[in-house]
């Protein structure tokens, strides 16, 4: 995906002043005109060195210029990327990712990768039971950039009339409510968040290096009677999102309510 963007950059550099400043100018122009989008991971220094036919030292000096100007930064596990504040999601609020992104002025979109009716894995069956499930994998986009890989499991009896087009247009919260297939409304969810190293498949889908930091969120959604209805897995590249929780005074414990350490 990145190779198409970087194929001919060195042919358009105007040789005015030191080589590293010309490379920095070229990269700066690509950031300003949107060719290099917010939070996009740049090719490695070795790749840039080959593209621009310049030494690694020259490439590093060009990137340091852009870092000082606030255009790029380096992150452990990612390399160099275009600077943009991470998108914040608030914990303790029963809502979808798309709702929170829209409130921040970001355009959310879903892209379905695949879907099938199948038996659930053990982790899902322990929550939803051994019933036949609809499994939907999709990419969530924020302003057309990959933001999360999402897999949703739902009993097939609840989703038998849904179509793949609907999976992209609407969240399952919206579909279940609109179709009135639930006896009781959705009322709450529990979410477990852990740090992981991103796998090869997810790295390719999300445009980040294999093994780079990521957040894995497992969410179970319940109806008003306490019955589990949905099980979802989200994988977020670590540099793209922050989870925010509000701490209030008066609690006996110093630990935030609902949070726990993993043994």
Q: Give residue 15's pLDDT.
A: 56
Q: What is the Cα–Cα distance from 19 to 25, expressed in whole angstroms?
A: 10
DSSP for 201-223, please give it.
HHHHHHT--TT-EEEEEEEEEEE
Total count of domains within the chain: 2
Task: Mark which of 82, 116, 142 sits at the end of a domain.
Answer: 82
Which token pair is 111?
Answer: 């892209």
- Residue 256 forms part of a structural domain: no
Q: Give residue 232's pLDDT.
A: 96
- Residue 93 forms part of a structural domain: yes
- Residue 219 forms part of a structural domain: yes
Higher pLDDT, 142 or 127: 127
Q: What is the Cα–Cα distance from 128 to 131, expressed in whole angstroms?
A: 8
Question: Pick from 86, 104, 112: which is nearest to 215 by CA?
Answer: 86
| Same domain, residue pair 115 and 130 | yes
The domain in which residue 96 lies consists of 87-244
- Residue 250 forms part of a structural domain: no
- Residue 220 forms part of a structural domain: yes
Long-range contacts of range 96-105, CB-CB < 8 Å, 24 or more positions apart?
96/171, 96/173, 97/140, 97/147, 97/148, 97/234, 98/140, 98/171, 101/142, 101/147
**Residue 107 reports pLDDT greater than 90:** no
**Residue 164 reports pLDDT greater than 50:** yes
- Residue 258 forms part of a structural domain: no
Task: Mark which of 33, 57, 82 sits at the end of a domain.
Answer: 82
DSSP three-state, residue 58 = helix
| Same domain, residue pair 177 and 238 | yes
Q: Give residue 32's pLDDT.
A: 82
Q: Give residue 16's pLDDT.
A: 58
**Residue 28 reports pLDDT greater than 60:** yes
Residues 53-87 pLDDT 10s:
999 999 999 999 998 888 888 887 778 888 776 77
- Residue 251 forms part of a structural domain: no
Which token pair is 243?
Answer: 């989870």
CATH of the domain at 156: 3.40.1410.10
- Give residue 148's pLDDT band: very low, low, confident or very high (50, 70, 90): very high
Q: What is the mean pLDDT of residues 9-24?
A: 70
Q: What's the predicted TM-score (pTM) here?
A: 0.72
| Same domain, residue pair 132 and 238 | yes
Q: Give residue 87's pLDDT.
A: 74
| Same domain, residue pair 70 and 93 | no
| Same domain, residue pair 163 and 229 | yes
| Same domain, residue pair 210 and 159 | yes
Task: Answer for the pair 77, 213: CB distance below 8 angstroms, yes or no.
Answer: yes
Higher pLDDT, 239 or 128: 128
Question: Around Cβ 93, how many Cβ atoms within 10 Å?
Answer: 12
Q: What is the mean pLDDT of residues 12-34?
A: 80
Residue 41 per-residue DSSP state: B
Q: Give residue 59's pLDDT.
A: 93
List of E strands, 143-211: 145-155, 186-197
| Same domain, residue pair 161 and 55 | no
Task: Please classify residue 5 by burial: count the beta carbons closer than 10 Å to its beta carbon, then call 0-12 exposed, 13-18 middle and 19+ buried.
Answer: middle
Picking from 23-32, 37-46, 243-252, which range would have the lowest pLDDT averaged per residue? 243-252
Cα atoms in the 13 Å half-sphere on the side-chain side of 235 = 22
Percent residues over pLDDT 70 in the chain: 88
Task: Mark which of 82, 108, 123 sits at the end of a domain.
Answer: 82
Q: What's the sign of the alpha-carbon dihedral 96, 203, 243, 71?
A: negative
| Same domain, residue pair 30 and 95 | no
Alpha-carbon separation of residue 224 from 101, 228, 233 (angstroms) = 26, 10, 22
Picking from 18-32, 71-85, 140-154, which range would have the lowest pLDDT averaged per residue? 71-85
Q: Give residue 253's pLDDT.
A: 47
**Residue 4 reports pLDDT greater than 90:** no
Q: What are phi and psi of 178, to 5 degrees?
A: -65, -40
Q: Give residue 1's pLDDT.
A: 40
Task: Answer for the pair 153, 232: CB distance below 8 angstroms, yes or no.
Answer: yes
- Residue 252 forms part of a structural domain: no
| Same domain, residue pair 228 and 176 | yes
| Same domain, residue pair 185 and 55 | no
CATH of the domain at 7: 1.10.10.10
Task: Answer for the pair 233, 217: CB distance below 8 angstroms, yes or no.
Answer: yes
| Same domain, residue pair 47 and 137 | no
Higher pLDDT, 229 or 145: 229
| Same domain, residue pair 151 and 223 | yes
């Amino acid at each position: 995906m990145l190779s198409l963007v970087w194929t001919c950059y060195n042919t358009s550099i105007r040789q005015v002043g030191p080589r590293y400043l010309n490379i920095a100018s070229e990269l700066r122009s690509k950031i300003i005109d949107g060719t290099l989008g917010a939070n996009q991971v740049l090719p490695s220094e070795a790749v840039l060195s080959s593209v621009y036919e310049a030494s690694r030292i020259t490439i590093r000096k060009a990137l340091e210029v852009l870092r000082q100007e606030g255009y790029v930064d380096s992150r452990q596990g990612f390399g160099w990327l275009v600077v943009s504040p991470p998108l914040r999601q608030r914990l303790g609020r029963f809502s979808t990712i798309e709702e929170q992104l829209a409130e921040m002025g970001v355009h959310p979109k879903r892209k379905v990768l695949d879907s099938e009716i199948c038996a659930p894995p053990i982790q899902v069956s322990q929550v939803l039971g051994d019933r036949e499930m609809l499994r939907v994998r999709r990419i969530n986009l924020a302003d057309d950039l990959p933001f999360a890989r999402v897999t949703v499991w739902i009993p097939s009896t609840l989703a038998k009339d849904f179509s793949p087009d609907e999976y992209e247009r609407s969240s399952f919260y919206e579909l279940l409510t609109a179709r009135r297939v639930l006896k009781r409304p959705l009322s709450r969810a529990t979410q477990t968040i852990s740090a992981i190293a991103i796998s090869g498949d997810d790295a390719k889908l999300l445009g980040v290096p294999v093994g780079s930091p990521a957040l894995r969120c497992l969410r179970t959604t319940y109806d008003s009677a306490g019955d589990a209805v949905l099980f979802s897995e989200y994988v977020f590249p670590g540099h793209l999102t922050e989870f925010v929780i509000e701490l209030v005074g008066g609690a006996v414990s110093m630990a935030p309510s609902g949070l726990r350490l993993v043994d």
